[in-house]
Amino acid sequence: EDQVTQSPEALRLQEGESSSLNCSYTVSGLRGLFWYRQDPGKGPEFLFTLYSAGEEKEKERLKATLTKKESFLHITAPKPEDSATYLCAVRSHDAGGTSYGKLTFGQGTILTVHP
Protein backbone atom coordinates (compact mmCIF):
# COMPACT_ATOMS: atom_id res chain seq x y z
CA GLU A 1 0.00 0.00 0.00
CA ASP A 2 1.31 3.41 -0.98
CA GLN A 3 2.00 5.82 1.86
CA VAL A 4 2.73 9.54 1.85
CA THR A 5 3.74 11.54 4.92
CA GLN A 6 4.15 15.29 4.88
CA SER A 7 5.96 17.39 7.44
CA PRO A 8 5.59 19.67 9.17
CA GLU A 9 1.80 19.74 9.56
CA ALA A 10 1.94 23.53 9.80
CA LEU A 11 4.66 26.07 9.11
CA ARG A 12 4.64 29.75 9.96
CA LEU A 13 7.18 31.99 8.22
CA GLN A 14 7.97 35.65 8.08
CA GLU A 15 7.91 37.23 4.66
CA GLY A 16 11.29 36.59 3.03
CA GLU A 17 12.18 33.68 5.34
CA SER A 18 13.02 30.72 3.09
CA SER A 19 12.18 27.16 4.14
CA SER A 20 11.30 23.68 2.89
CA LEU A 21 8.37 21.31 3.11
CA ASN A 22 8.97 17.57 3.17
CA CYS A 23 7.09 14.71 1.56
CA SER A 24 8.23 11.17 2.39
CA TYR A 25 6.76 8.32 0.40
CA THR A 26 6.65 4.55 0.16
CA VAL A 27 5.43 3.09 -3.11
CA SER A 28 5.77 -0.16 -5.03
CA GLY A 29 7.00 1.62 -8.13
CA LEU A 30 6.85 5.38 -8.50
CA ARG A 31 5.12 6.67 -11.61
CA GLY A 32 5.03 10.28 -10.56
CA LEU A 33 5.12 12.55 -7.53
CA PHE A 34 2.80 15.54 -7.61
CA TRP A 35 2.65 18.80 -5.68
CA TYR A 36 -0.56 20.78 -5.36
CA ARG A 37 -1.47 24.06 -3.73
CA GLN A 38 -4.88 24.42 -2.06
CA ASP A 39 -6.40 27.70 -0.94
CA PRO A 40 -9.12 27.64 1.75
CA GLY A 41 -12.49 26.51 0.42
CA LYS A 42 -11.11 25.67 -3.01
CA GLY A 43 -9.94 22.59 -4.89
CA PRO A 44 -6.23 21.77 -5.14
CA GLU A 45 -4.30 23.41 -7.96
CA PHE A 46 -1.53 21.54 -9.76
CA LEU A 47 2.04 22.79 -9.25
CA PHE A 48 4.60 20.16 -10.31
CA THR A 49 5.13 16.58 -11.40
CA LEU A 50 8.43 14.80 -10.74
CA TYR A 51 9.19 11.37 -12.17
CA SER A 52 12.72 10.33 -11.23
CA ALA A 53 15.28 10.88 -8.49
CA GLY A 54 17.40 13.95 -9.11
CA GLU A 55 14.70 15.75 -11.03
CA GLU A 56 13.92 19.37 -10.13
CA LYS A 57 11.15 21.74 -11.20
CA GLU A 58 10.79 25.47 -10.49
CA LYS A 59 7.97 27.96 -10.61
CA GLU A 60 8.45 31.47 -9.29
CA ARG A 61 9.49 31.15 -5.63
CA LEU A 62 8.87 27.39 -5.52
CA LYS A 63 11.30 24.60 -6.34
CA ALA A 64 10.49 20.90 -6.05
CA THR A 65 13.13 18.19 -5.79
CA LEU A 66 12.91 14.41 -5.68
CA THR A 67 14.99 11.60 -4.19
CA LYS A 68 14.17 7.89 -4.00
CA LYS A 69 12.43 8.33 -0.66
CA GLU A 70 11.25 11.90 -0.42
CA SER A 71 10.50 15.17 -2.12
CA PHE A 72 11.09 18.70 -0.93
CA LEU A 73 9.23 21.84 -1.83
CA HIS A 74 11.61 24.74 -1.28
CA ILE A 75 10.10 28.17 -0.86
CA THR A 76 12.52 31.05 -1.44
CA ALA A 77 11.74 34.48 0.00
CA PRO A 78 8.03 33.70 0.48
CA LYS A 79 5.31 36.33 0.31
CA PRO A 80 1.97 36.38 2.16
CA GLU A 81 0.22 35.26 -1.04
CA ASP A 82 2.13 31.95 -0.83
CA SER A 83 0.04 31.09 2.24
CA ALA A 84 -1.91 27.92 1.44
CA THR A 85 -2.00 24.20 2.11
CA TYR A 86 0.54 22.29 0.04
CA LEU A 87 -0.33 18.71 -0.85
CA CYS A 88 1.97 15.97 -2.04
CA ALA A 89 0.71 12.87 -3.87
CA VAL A 90 2.20 9.80 -5.53
CA ARG A 91 1.10 7.58 -8.37
CA SER A 92 2.42 4.04 -8.57
CA HIS A 93 2.08 0.73 -10.34
CA ASP A 94 -0.49 -1.47 -8.68
CA ALA A 95 -0.22 -5.23 -8.48
CA GLY A 96 -2.11 -5.66 -11.71
CA GLY A 97 -0.03 -3.05 -13.50
CA THR A 98 -2.95 -0.71 -14.01
CA SER A 99 -3.30 2.08 -11.49
CA TYR A 100 -5.85 4.04 -13.52
CA GLY A 101 -3.86 7.08 -12.54
CA LYS A 102 -4.92 6.94 -8.91
CA LEU A 103 -3.06 9.26 -6.59
CA THR A 104 -2.36 8.74 -2.91
CA PHE A 105 -2.22 12.03 -1.01
CA GLY A 106 -0.39 13.15 2.09
CA GLN A 107 -2.26 15.15 4.71
CA GLY A 108 -0.73 18.42 3.61
CA THR A 109 1.34 21.21 5.14
CA ILE A 110 -0.45 24.41 6.06
CA LEU A 111 1.89 27.30 5.24
CA THR A 112 1.29 30.75 6.69
CA VAL A 113 3.52 33.64 5.65
CA HIS A 114 3.29 36.76 7.79
CA PRO A 115 4.08 40.20 6.35
Partner 1 sequence: DVKVTQSSRYLVKRTGEKVFLECVQDMDHENMFWYRQDPGLGLRLIYFSYDVKMKEKGDIPEGYSVSREKKERFSLILESASTNQTSMYLCASSLATGGNGYTFGSGTRLTVV
91 in contact with partner 1 (CB under 8 A): yes
Residue numbers 13-42 binding partner 1 by CB under 8 A: 31-32, 34, 36, 41-42
| DSSP code per residue over 1-64 | --EEEEE-SEEEEETT--EEEEEEEE-SSEEEEEEEEE-TTS--EEEEEE-STT-EEEETTEEE
- Smallest gap from Cβ 18 to partner 1, in A, equals 26
Number of residues near partner 1 (by CB under 8 A): 23
Helix (H), strand (E) counts: the chain: 0, 11
- Smallest gap from Cβ 14 to partner 1, in A, equals 25
Kindly tell me which of 79 and 102 has the beta carbon lying closer to partner 1: 102
Kindly tell me which of 11 and 103 has the beta carbon lying closer to partner 1: 103
Given candidates 2, 21, 44, 82, which one binds partner 1 under the rule CB under 8 A? 44
Which range of residues in 10-18, 45-53, 58-66, 72-80 is near partner 1 by CB under 8 A? Answer: 45-53
